[in-house]
């Protein structure tokens, strides 16, 4: 009897141990076990590798000298850190001036779009406007219809007003809630303001506040997540935009960084056709791209936490 009881206790202990191992590996629920967590981390690592590999390749290539570029054995880690490619790209792009133009253009457009689209989104969300649905339909058309369809008359108007080779044809539409992706920003604000309780406006009206005071004193302080999301989206899209600057800014003296990259690529192609390809051409291209992405990368690095929170609170992830 003693042996049978001992075996039963050992069996129970073994079953309990197996149960603990099972719960540790699989978990009481499917999404809380070790296997599931390992699977999630594997997916995240694979995704991070997909996005980081081009950036790492760009950095590794731009700091290689001619010997490392020609040596197939040198892939990720160059023997020496060579900054000549970066210096050459800096000089070709006239980087300080082009950076100032890009910053001025992107900041102007993003600030104007952030404010004007907030007013428009609030009007569509909370105010009783005649033909509001019809107006919103026409607003959606500006989002659906490609800008290439309307670019020709816009260029003609800009030339008649003497605004070609200036940043004003890009900035002025942003003042009226249009510009690059303006309709999308209005939709973001409309979605956010629609979720706010009506009691806030009713309490403000009881205190004697009008429409404008309710908007600036009550709604705008609550809309900080939406403001941050719209500002970052507008800044990044304007910074990376090549099409509109290429249409309005043909003068190299007013070219932002997005145009400078294309001009350098064109110059390298012409140089290769005339004198043959150079060993450093690819490294120079990588250097220009690196100089281009530094400002938005720094901006996102310092605002990442608020940006993710803003995306969740504005309803973009629904």
For 127-223, where are the alpha helices, taking DSSP H only? 132-144, 147-160, 168-175, 182-194, 198-206, 211-213, 220-222
* Residue 195: count of CB within 10 angstroms of its CB: 11
- Do residues 89 and 284 make contact, with C-beta atoms less than 8 angstroms apart? yes
Residue 141, phi then psi, degrees to nearest 5: -60, -35
Is the pLDDT at 8 greater than 70, yes or no? no
Q: Do 229 and 221 contact (CB within 8 A), yes or no?
A: no
Considering Cα of 227, then 125, then 105, then 304, what sign does the dihedral take? positive
pLDDT tens figures, 265-301: 777 777 777 777 677 778 888 888 888 888 888 888 8
Q: Is the pTM of this model over 0.75?
A: yes
Q: How many CA atoms lie within 13 A of 83 on its CB side?
A: 4
pLDDT at residue 3 tops 60: no
pLDDT confidence tier of residue 151, bands split at 50, 70 and 90: confident
Q: For the chain, how far is it from start to end, CA to CA, in angstroms? A: 64
pLDDT of 26 above 60 = no
Lowest-confidence pick of 71-75, 114-118, 119-123, 261-265: 71-75
Asked if residue 6 has pLDDT above 60, the reply is: no
Q: How far is CA 229 from CA 56, 169, 198, 275, in A?
A: 27, 24, 23, 47
How far apart, in whole angstroms, are the C-alpha atoms of residue 195 and residue 200? 12
The answer, yes or no, to whether residue 116 has pLDDT greater than 70, is yes
Nearest to 235 by CA among 224, 227, 243, 247: 227
Answer yes or no: is pLDDT of 29 > 60. Answer: no
The Cα 34–Cα 22 span in angstroms is: 10
**Band of the pLDDT at 17, cuts 50, 70, 90?**
low
Residues contacting 183, CB < 8 A, separation 6+? 139, 140, 142, 143
Q: pLDDT tens-digit profile of 66-77? A: 877 777 777 778
**pLDDT tens digits for range 32-50:** 666 777 888 888 898 888 8
Q: What is the pLDDT of residue 150?
A: 82
250 contacts 165 by C-beta, under 8 angstroms? yes
Question: Dihedral sign, CA of 224, 314, 195, 121?
Answer: positive
Q: Is the pLDDT of residue 193 over 60?
A: yes
| Residue 255 main-chain phi, psi, to 5 deg | -80, 130
pLDDT bucket at 107, cuts 50 / 70 / 90:
very high
If pLDDT is split at 50, 70 and 90, which confidence band does 25 have?
Answer: low
Q: What confidence score (pLDDT) does residue 111 get?
A: 92
């Amino acid at each position: 009897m003693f042996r049978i009881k001992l075996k039963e206790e050992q069996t129970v202990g073994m079953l309990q141990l197996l149960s603990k191992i099972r719960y540790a590996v699989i978990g009481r629920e499917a999404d809380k076990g070790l296997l599931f967590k390992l699977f999630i981390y594997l997916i995240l690592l694979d995704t991070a590798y997909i996005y980081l590999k081009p950036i790492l390749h760009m950095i590794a290539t731009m700091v290689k000298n001619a010997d490392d570029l020609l040596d197939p054995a040198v892939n990720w880690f160059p023997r020496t850190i060579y900054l000549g490619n970066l210096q050459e790209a800096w000089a070709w792009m006239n980087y300080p001036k082009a950076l100032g133009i890009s910053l001025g253009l992107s900041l102007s457009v993003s600030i104007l779009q952030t404010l004007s689209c907030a007013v428009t989104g609030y009007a569509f969300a909370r105010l009783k406007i005649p033909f509001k649905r019809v107006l919103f339909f026409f607003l959606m058309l500006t989002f659906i219809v490609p800008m290439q369809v309307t670019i020709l008359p816009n260029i003609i108007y800009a030339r008649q007003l003497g605004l070609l080779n200036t940043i004003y044809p890009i900035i002025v539409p942003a003042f009226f809630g249009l510009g690059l992706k303006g309709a999308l920003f209005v939709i973001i604000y409309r979605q956010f303001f629609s979720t706010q309780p009506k009691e806030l406006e009713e309490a403000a009206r009881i205190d004697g506040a009008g429409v404008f005071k309710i908007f600036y004193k009550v709604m705008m302080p609550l809309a900080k997540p939406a403001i941050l999301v719209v500002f970052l989206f507008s800044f990044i899209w304007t910074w990376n935009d090549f099409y509109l600057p290429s249409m309005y800014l043909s003068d190299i003296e007013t070219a932002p960084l997005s145009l400078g990259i294309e001009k350098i690529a064109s110059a390298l192609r012409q140089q290769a056709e005339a004198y043959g390809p150079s060993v450093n051409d690819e490294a120079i291209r990588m250097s220009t791209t690196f100089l281009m992405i530094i400002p938005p990368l720094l901006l996102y690095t310092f605002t990442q936490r608020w940006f993710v929170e803003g995306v969740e609170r504005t309803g973009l992830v629904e």
